[in-house]
Every structure is written in C-alpha cells, then in structure tokens.
Structure 1
C-alpha cells in the first residue's frame, strides 16, 4: 500500500469459500479447533477468498480504477493486488485481486484505528475491489526507540479489539497450509497448482513442512492459547515510518490468534530476513503490557517461520528461481543451519 519499511512481501491466506465478518459455525471456535486433533478436521471459519496465484494485470487494475472514477493515478507496485498513487501524491489506491480481500482489509483497518492503533485513514471505497487511503510518506533511515515503543502499545491495543470480529481462527490457516503441502508432496493437484512431480529431496522438504505445521495445529499449547484480534502479519513490510511513528498497513490477514502472534511475526521477520536488526526491537518488546508468554511467543515465531517457508513451496516448489531458497529455508529450520533468508522482491510480490 504505502512505501513499506522493507520490500519483503506478505504471506497471504486462501480459502475457496466466501468471506464472513466473523468466524461462523454451529460450535464454539475453540471446540472446533480441538476437533482438529480428534478428527483431522478444521473449524468452519473462512479465510478471504483469493484466485489463482498471479500478478494482477495493470490493464485490469486500471479498468477497475476507472470504474471507481480514479483517472491519472500512477502505479506504485503490483502483485496479487496493485497500488497506485494519486496525481497530487496525497492518496493511495489499492486494487485488490478479490472484493473479499478488500472487505477484510478495510474492516480490519477500521477496527484497529477505532482502537487507537496508528493506521492510515481510509478515504473511500469507491468500488468493491478498490480502497483509497491517505498516503503516509515513508521516511528512510533508522527507526527510533520511541516509534518502536509506540508500536508495542499499539500491538496490545489491537489485541483488545473484540476477537469475535476476526474472520478466521489462526489454526485454520495452519491446517489448510499443511493440507496443501501434503497434496503437493504427493503430486496431486492443489488449490494453487495442478499435479507437480517434485524431485525426491524437494518432496521430502515439503512433506517435512507439512508435518511440522500439523504438529503445531495439534499441540496443547496452540489449542489452549486464549485468542485475541491480530493483524496476522505484523512485519517491517507492513509498517510505514513517517519519521516519528510506525503506521500499520495491510490488514488482509486479520485473524483470531494468540495475543503474541503479531509479536511473533515481527520477531520472525527481523530474525530471518535481517531487514531490521533484532536488537532494535528491544523498546517494542519492553513496551508490551502484558509481557509476552515466552513459551507461546516461541511457538508463534516458529509457526510464522514455517508458514513463510512453506509459502515458497506452494508457489515455487517446481520453479528453479525459488526452489533453492525453499531448500535453504527448510535446512535452517530443520537442521539449525545458519542462513539469512533472501528477500525475493518481484518474485514474492506475486502474493501481496
């Protein structure tokens, strides 16, 4: 949306069903997730729909902008969504791959802003697939302790939003990703790809990721964790520094998750990609009230790392330009091999 702190793309979620404003189903959400362990099923909560992986064509995006009455806007970047800047540089228009993702983003940002979180103002939604936001110019350079400390306060404010309005339980994403990986490793079609014959070593890596994600979804710590409203992908890529404060953007991944999920996402991003030195997070971590639960935070960090690595398998297990990075990420997670994960720029931008 706005110029992010880093170019690393976001990890999306996917579901073939239509979106809902709240997790729905005939049973309590926690009871539904407990059934994961007993029956291998998932709760009926829905993730925002997304179409096949791919870049949103500029002609399609501009046609949607025209339908929204926005003419002469300059493209900033494109991926599964596309971002455009107004002629006067005062506003940003985000064109979404699907209307449901626009709805989730707008609703999540509104809830966060109402809770006092520093979020760019929504100007208008002139089309079901277009949202216009006030542009926050990003300021390059180091982020000061005060900005990080304010983000910690905002993280806890976000967690205070009623969890019932979150569109999906976090373990739905985890179990769904595991299912896709299992299909991929078996050479069967997935929601993203047709049948793919993977080399044996790559297939083993994909199967390992699936097993690890299943283990997360079935462990008592994950199943018993109290739920909170969470951004879902709080990372440097989804923060804009205006020189004083950090603005949180892109709420498409909102979910009901442990209150330390967003903290874990930020820790995972800084630890694996190094775009922000981990030591600079100290003011952020110190300002969290209540302080994170160490065991639960470690689980959140590990799960986010598994999701980030596994997304490469989903979009690129058979793509030479991605499979090498996938294998190195798996090795770092499985064997503890020291490796700084690469930012994939335009390749990963397909999944914005």
Structure 2
C-alpha cells in the first residue's frame, strides 16, 4: 500500500464527508493505493456514526473509536500502530489542511528519501490567541532540539516514512514535538514544506490555554528523556556535585576566616550569624538530595525492561 492517511478527530462530524471525499479524489487522480484511518477521540456530536456511514460507501476508510477523549497524541499513536502504508500522512479533520498537498509530500518521502516532512503554514488564519503561543513554542523547540530548519513543529499536516511512525511513541501533548521524537529515535533527515492553511469551515477550535503549560512541560520531558533517559545520574549527579562543592567551599571559607581572625585576636562574629552559612547549608543539603535522586533514578533505569532497547537501522 502506498499511503496511509491518519486523521485524529474530536467533534468534527460536519467536515468528515467533505474531507474523506477530497482525500479519495486526490488519491484516485494520482492512482495511489491508500487507506484513510479516522481516529475518533471520544466525540459526542455523532462523528462515529458518520464514520460508519462513510465506511459503507468507501472501502478505503477505517475507523477507530476511543471510549472517551484521550487527546490528539493518543489518537495519533493508535493510528500509527494501525497503519499499513509505506508513507504515512497526518492531517487535521477540520479542513484547515489541504489534501492537495499529499502528492508532493509523498514524492519527497519516496524520491528524496526524507524520514519526515513537516508542513509550514506560512500564512495562517488562526486568531492571535493561537498563533502567538505557537510561535513561542516553535522558537523554544528549535533552540532545545537543534532542529533549526523547521518553522512550525505543530502543523498537523506531516508525512512520514513508515519506519518512523513504527519506532516512536506519542503521548501526553507530544504530538506537538513529533519531529523531536523522531530525531531522538535516530531519524535525522527531517524537512519542511510550505503548505496551504485554510480558514476553519465548520465547528470551533479545540485549542485551550492549558495546552500552553502542558506543551512546555512536555517539551522539557522530551529534552530530558531523550538526553538523559538512559543515564539520569549524569544529569542529577552533576548538578548535585556542583551544588555540594559550592556549599562546601563557602563553609570552608567561613571556617577559615574565623580561625584566621581568632589567631590574630581580632573581632569576629559567629558563623551562624553570617547569611552565607545558611546559603552553604542549603547548597550542601540540596546537592546531597540531587545526588541521591540521580542514584535512585540510575537504579530504576538499570532495572527497566527498556534499558537496552536501541534503534537498529540495519543488520547485514
């Protein structure tokens, strides 16, 4: 099979007939073999009933329904597991992504051998409440991930080589950072394509300000797990040692100063009256706790069934 199109959706009943018809037309015009995976993330507006009706008229449509709303990341992860196509295309169900982009995305994956192509909606029709947080996330993600050639990490329209989606796990709010997950998994040929962004035709946006906080926390999680997941002692231990040494140096300096003044019979004040003493004490205690945290995390990591799970590209 050439292409699997994965569409996560939540309360998008009005757009589904037009979207699936549009995708099918593009596929038929380009003579692609394909499947359309519609993942219903616990919709309450009759989206699942619409999917069942559409499936009776189009054998290429497959539906997956969650018992409740788990989020876009969960829908994508389940959709990825079910795909059978050589190239996987993801797009939103609100008709803001154009299926006309699919042939070029497919060509770049198959002919230019990209692992992942991320869409870039250079001209957007979203309100500032959505575009401003998106720009901040994109800037922070570029700096933390080192993927400097992407302008829009969160664009729903993406294309993947099938090996990518079978070797990453998407959870939480991490659908925003799939290119980062792919990079940490060893898929480094990541490109970008300017795509059309269309104004929403039906329904309302599902974007909420709570995603701003959750998305930032997930970005930190990706950075930490990707860099230190198999060696947590390097992270916690180094900070713990630095904090402990800083506190110890301050404490030694205070003690040395007091002994020096005593030897010269000069006036001195008690160490506990010096604010630096409490800074040193906090630094020593914090350093010890960080070191112990790293030690415990290392024990957990070494006893994890995933401790020796690595991405192997080829064996000859």
Query: Scaled by the length of structure 1, what TM-score is found?
Result: 0.26
Bigger Rg, which one: 2
Q: Which has the higher contact order (CA 8 A, sep 6+)?
A: 1
Higher helix share: 2
